[in-house]
Structure 1
Amino acid sequence: MLGLLFLLGFAAARQNTAVSHESFYPEHVLRVTAQNYSLACQDRYSVVINGSVPGPELRIPEGKVTWIRVYNDMSDANLTMHWHGLTAFTAPFSDGTPAASQWPIPPNHFFDYEIRPEIGYAGSYFYHSHVGFQAVSASGPLIVEDSQPLPYTYDEERLVYLSDFFNKTDKTIEDGLVADPFTWSGETNAVLVNGNGRLTTDDPGTCALASINVEPGKTYRLRFIASTALSFVSLAIDSHDVAIIEADGHYTKPLNTSYLQMSSGQRYSVLLKAKTESELEQLNKRHFYIQFSTLERPSVLTGFSLLEYPNNTVDARVVPSEPPLPVANTTNGWIDYQLQPLVPHEDFPTLEEVTRRVTIQMYQNVSQHTIWLQNEYPWTEHVPQSPYLIDIYEGKLDPDTSYQRAIANGDGFDKITKTFPAKIGEVLEIVWQNEGAVSNGGVDTHPLHAHGRHYFDIGGGDGVYNATENEERLKTAHPILRDTTVLYRYREKTTPRAPSGWRAWRLRVTDAGVWMIHCHVLQHMIMGMQTVWTFGDRDEILTQGGPVTGSYLTYGGSAYGNSTHSPIVQHYFD
């Protein structure tokens, strides 16, 4: 009942009116094209946003509506734009997930996305295409600005935006991943910082590293955003320690660390105290390398960017002959049970409040056509004939019937709709269980990202999840809200289907809708490592979303503008 009252109150706050956008001016405009683009001093045919990689930094206020217009200027490919970490705080069709919550933007069309971050969610996010492998280059930073006084004091901000570079084109990579026989994409050729970097095979001096400029004695907030496709990195700054103060859009108590460990989709803000002039004189240097190494891959790639002080004379094109820091190894469970919210969460669900536990077994089936499975099923954006949310609106999919089948199935999965349904008011414990591959026992590490409202991350470990033992750990820990956390593998290989690591979440089901939860490695997503969740029954989903015109319910409908007409757009928020 409380969940339904919440939904009714939420819906009442919406205008829910159809508006012609003929004379409408959004706060931000993104134009997406596919073109030859130079990255790491290499030419690659890439999907780019506003002609650059990464796309422009967007800054939006918390607690207010922001409209972002996205043009698909490509002539031969669909597009969506996903607001990573903000998906419960958008209009129903603005999550940007094709086949789940909206029809994709057809070629030569545009779509107006409506976003309203809630108060308390100021922090570091990013946006990216959610179609195929486009997000390897089609992404950019998204900063939600505080409406309240900042809890930490610093002088300036700096952005450290991580992305991958692959020599192969998106199409070549996608075609290989779904081919029979299977063709792997190959490992990343370079990890870029703010779009800059170089291949490790380059001759010295051919391509400049990214430079982060700082002034002596100042305190900086460094926003680290991992928009990588594949790379899981360990990152450290020579001669500088930092304090973590934000994770995935939530302020934390300061946690001092000498390094960060970041998977695709994760974000951290840290405070860095710049050296004083006297300290720089003692060290006799005015540059320090930011060193990062890829983890959990067949070979280690080590790259660099520069932390530069004024009057530095070192050429940014020069890479150190020897890494200034030790090449990192994976720290399994890095900062688990250590990072704490700045303000304790009074609504953290206890074990006694959990109404249902859903365990999802994740493993690879290695054959000529290699796929990733969850509870014996792979999901790709080509599975449904139309988006799930559209089918719910049109009465073609009944979440309540799906829920009954999922409960009867015993593992929470409905084999007919290929969804994990849940009811409003439930308190879920979602356990991700890593297992050895069917044929060879191989195990991988996965960054797991949830659309919808953020969840409480309650930790992870080797073997199999034990709720009683983990609850003992939580007595001295204070779980934080996250939207992307790491399922570690703990070993490279084990017996086929043997457990090898777990990650557990808790969340209260409050937001009706269709939400994706998936591995954020782009290759794994294409190979089936995604799940679809429906929260609430049809009436609750329609109450939260409100009535819509047919403009959203058909591919290329009138909610999608083009050169001949402006879109008719629902305004959901006041």
Structure 2
Amino acid sequence: MFFGPLAILTRLSTLGAAKLHVHDRSFVPDQILRVTAQNITQGCLSRYSVLVNGTFPGPELRFQEGQTRWIRVYNDMSDKNLTMHWHGLSMAAYPFSDGTPQASQASINPFPWPIPPAHYFDYELHFESDQAGTYFYHSHVGFQGVSCSGPLIIEERTRPPYDYDGERTVYLSDFFNETDTEISEGLAANPFVWSGETNAVLINGMGVSNTLAQSDISSCPLATIAVQPGKKYRFRFIGATALSFVSLAFEGHNLSVIEADGGYTKSVNTSFMQVGPGQRYSALLTTKTCDELQGQRRFWIQTETRERPTLYRGYALLVYSDECDIQVPTTPPLTLPNTTLGWLDYELRPLAPNDFPSLNEVTRRVTITVQMIVNGTITWTENGLPWLWTFPSKPYLVNLYEHDESGIPNYTSAVANGGMDDRTRAFPAKVGEVLEIVIQNTGATSGGLDVHSFHAHGAHVYDVGAGNGTYDAYANEERLRGTHPVKRDTTVLYRYETKTNPGADGGWRAWRLRITEPGVWMIHCHTLQHMIMGMQTVWVFGDTADILKLPKPQVEGYLNYGGGECSLIELSVGCQCLRQVHMAT
């Protein structure tokens, strides 16, 4: 049973005076999402999964740029906490709506500041005038994001820059036979228990588990995407996988990439797509004419995993006519390339000028060195320290409001330490700085290397490329000559070999970022296993005064688990009196 008024939301705005409003039972949000945990059939197998509105993927949400919308998320689970993250959206004006662990809202242990069971939270989302593009939403608690997710599309208020006749979504996700709890507990156990490789890469929630007997595969439905001949379609590819780095292609069809992570690009032709966890692309596909079809009405869409010890190969269908009986091919109809290191790096161009900062404008370089530590347990560290779900004891944003020095990073110490304040395990920066952020892959204590899909919350970054070995700023600047990097929020840190010496540099990814939006933002690997195992950290952009634009009394309900009207003791016995507040200008 839910009691209102519930939860808290606030808009931090620099435009005029803020006015406090309270949501009561009469408030009607623009969208309602209800999250449950239940058995669902995926990959022709039953799995206990966290779902949005009872389905996977969750419902597609469509809004228009320039709008402000409220989304109410109910946690209908009886024993699990929840948050919802709006992947790729800048939440600078709405930091409490980012739905990120320990940065602004949630954690899993010891359970501070998420949406508790039998409560809800109203997320205030504002879609900027230049944010039209492809996004998705997902839980940011533990391994829930493997199934608690769905597409989020922001449409233009005017005509899009490319013409097409229709849209289709290719929603890529992983299926694991084990439950979220089993996987999360194994990843944190000593001795370490690996989740195992994906049992299926699903397209739009459909596919075939590799654990099925051959006799069962023929009855397992595949995704079909219907098209008409002689048309041009915008395919939106969403990398909602937990682990899998996916290569895919369309039999008999080529593509032209026009969007990367919510930003339009100049058209780049390609015969295949390569999508890491968290990445999104749009590509135009021109269907064949009736004469070109020559009677063929079905074409295979083939997916294959890359950079994993075992290969998963899956299929869907591009169908020009009514769906008919389908059998999985015994021989792959397509030959997909091996991992293309640096796929589309240095090739994508923004469709419009984007104020890309040159190397001369960079005020400071921050290197985030990632390494896997094998010692009974397996953890991922950044600059020698892993992310801990129990640290800090309160979200960083709450510490700022409470002036708790234990959770506030020291800028001077961080600069002297290469960018990271070890005491708080955070990377601070001042508004006005132009950072060059280098994510450096290094050999594990066992010498192994892995591929990572790095995601930045809060603001899109200028992606300035990737390469083997150690980052060389001047060599890369020469390679950038004549290019115009695009803004991204999720890019791949490749491995250029599978094994090297422990601690040796084995590849890098570089970003640039103008610090214009104060706030507390996560940066993490979007491979969910790696994230749970410690591969995430926090950026704190701006001084305390920059971030805290509203006085403490107006956000008081955010600063306590469950809102300002309940104590932890009361919550433990079922108190559900969260307040619902938002700020309007």
1:322 aligns with 2:331: yes
Partner of 1:215: 228
8 Å Cα contact 2:248-2:336 kept in structure 1: no
Deviating above 3 A after TM superposition, structure 1's stretches of 4 or more consecutive aligned residues are 13-16, 397-401, 544-547, 558-567
1:187–1:9 Cα change, 3 Å:
closer
Supply the distance in 2 between the matched residues of 1:55 and 1:509 (Cα, whole angstroms). Answer: 34
| 1:181-330 map, 5 Å | 181-202=191-212, 203=214, 204-281=217-294, 284-311=295-322, 313=324, 315-316=325-326, 318-330=327-339
1:426–1:546 Cα change, 3 Å:
farther
Unaligned runs of at least 5 residues, structure 2: 1-10, 106-112
8 Å Cα contact 1:73-1:108 kept in structure 2: yes
Partner of 1:550: 556
1:570 aligns with 2:578: no
Partner of 2:109: none
Of 486-495 and 556-565, the range deviating more from structure 2: 556-565
**Residue 296 of structure 1 aligns to which amino acid in structure 2?**
E
Partner of 2:518: 512
Supply the distance in 2 between the matched residues of 1:248 and 1:234 (Cα, whole angstroms). Answer: 17
- Partner SS, residue 304 of structure 1: strand
1:150 aligns with 2:160: yes
1:380 aligns with 2:388: yes
8 Å Cα contact 2:258-2:268 kept in structure 1: yes
**Residue 240 of structure 2 aligns to which amino acid in structure 1?**
S
Q: Deviations over 1:71-126 (max 9, x none)?
A: 01111111000000013355120000121112211111000000001111100000
Q: Deviations over 1:43-65 (max 9, x none)?
A: 11111110001110001111110
8 Å Cα contact 2:373-2:380 kept in structure 1: yes
Report the alpha carbon displacement of residue 294 of structure 1 after superposing the two structures with TM: 0.2
**Residue 166 of structure 1 aligns to which amino acid in structure 2?**
F
Correspondence for 1:333 among 337, 342, 346: 342
**Residue 61 of structure 1 aligns to which amino acid in structure 2?**
Q
1:86 aligns with 2:96: no
Report the alpha carbon displacement of residue 566 of structure 1 after superposing the two structures with TM: 7.2
Supply the distance in 1 between the matched residues of 2:551 and 2:98 (Cα, whole angstroms). Answer: 12
- Partner SS, residue 406 of structure 1: helix
| 1:148-187 map, 5 Å | 148-187=158-197
1:478 aligns with 2:465: no
Supply the distance in 2 between the matched residues of 1:512 and 1:78 (Cα, whole angstroms). Answer: 28
Paired positions, count:
559
Supply the distance in 2 between the matched residues of 1:51 and 1:85 (Cα, whole angstroms). Answer: 24
Supply the distance in 2 between the matched residues of 1:545 and 1:514 (Cα, whole angstroms). Answer: 17
Partner of 2:108: none
Q: Deviations over 1:358-415 (max 9, x none)?
A: 011111011211100110000033221111101111111488761122123x211111
1:416 aligns with 2:423: yes
**Residue 471 of structure 1 aligns to which amino acid in structure 2?**
E
Report the alpha carbon displacement of residue 159 of structure 1 after superposing the two structures with TM: 0.8
Supply the distance in 2 between the matched residues of 1:70 and 1:12 (Cα, whole angstroms). Answer: 28
Supply the distance in 1 between the matched residues of 2:409 and 2:312 (Cα, whole angstroms). Answer: 49
Partner of 1:3: none
Supply the distance in 2 between the matched residues of 1:116 and 1:546 (Cα, whole angstroms). Answer: 23
| 1:329-408 map, 5 Å | 329-345=338-354, 347-397=355-405, 402-408=410-416
Partner of 2:498: 492
1:527 aligns with 2:533: yes
Supply the distance in 2 between the matched residues of 1:430 and 1:308 (Cα, whole angstroms). Answer: 44
Q: Deviations over 1:132-152 (max 9, x none)?
A: 000000000000111132101
- Partner SS, residue 390 of structure 2: coil
1:559–1:343 Cα change, 3 Å:
farther
Report the alpha carbon displacement of residue 311 of structure 1 after superposing the two structures with TM: 4.4
Supply the distance in 2 between the matched residues of 1:21 and 1:14 (Cα, whole angstroms). Answer: 23
- Partner SS, residue 551 of structure 1: helix
TM-score normalized with structure 2 length: 0.92
8 Å Cα contact 2:396-2:408 kept in structure 1: no
* % identity of equivalent residues: 57
Correspondence for 2:27 among 14, 18, 24: 24
8 Å Cα contact 1:90-1:114 kept in structure 2: no
| 1:133-144 map, 5 Å | 133-144=143-154
| 1:102-113 map, 5 Å | 102=105, 103-113=113-123
8 Å Cα contact 1:57-1:142 kept in structure 2: yes
1:406–1:308 Cα change, 3 Å:
same
1:547–1:225 Cα change, 3 Å:
farther
Q: CA RMSD in A?
A: 2.0
1:298–1:543 Cα change, 3 Å:
same
Correspondence for 2:72 among 66, 69, 73: 69
Supply the distance in 2 between the matched residues of 1:14 and 1:276 (Cα, whole angstroms). Answer: 58
**Residue 111 of structure 1 aligns to which amino acid in structure 2?**
F
8 Å Cα contact 2:406-2:424 kept in structure 1: no
**Residue 363 of structure 2 aligns to which amino acid in structure 1?**
T
8 Å Cα contact 2:134-2:261 kept in structure 1: yes
8 Å Cα contact 1:97-1:130 kept in structure 2: yes
Correspondence for 2:444 among 421, 424, 437: 437
TM-score normalized with structure 1 length: 0.94
8 Å Cα contact 1:380-1:530 kept in structure 2: no
Of 545-554 and 181-190, the range deviating more from structure 2: 545-554
8 Å Cα contact 1:11-1:544 kept in structure 2: no
8 Å Cα contact 2:265-2:349 kept in structure 1: yes
Supply the distance in 2 between the matched residues of 1:546 and 1:276 (Cα, whole angstroms). Answer: 63
Partner of 2:5: none
Supply the distance in 2 between the matched residues of 1:51 and 1:38 (Cα, whole angstroms). Answer: 12
Supply the distance in 2 between the matched residues of 1:271 and 1:169 (Cα, whole angstroms). Answer: 36
1:499–1:559 Cα change, 3 Å:
farther
8 Å Cα contact 1:363-1:436 kept in structure 2: yes
8 Å Cα contact 1:124-1:268 kept in structure 2: yes
Partner of 1:5: none
Unaligned runs of at least 5 residues, structure 1: 1-7
Supply the distance in 2 between the matched residues of 1:93 and 1:157 (Cα, whole angstroms). Answer: 32
**Residue 11 of structure 1 aligns to which amino acid in structure 2?**
T
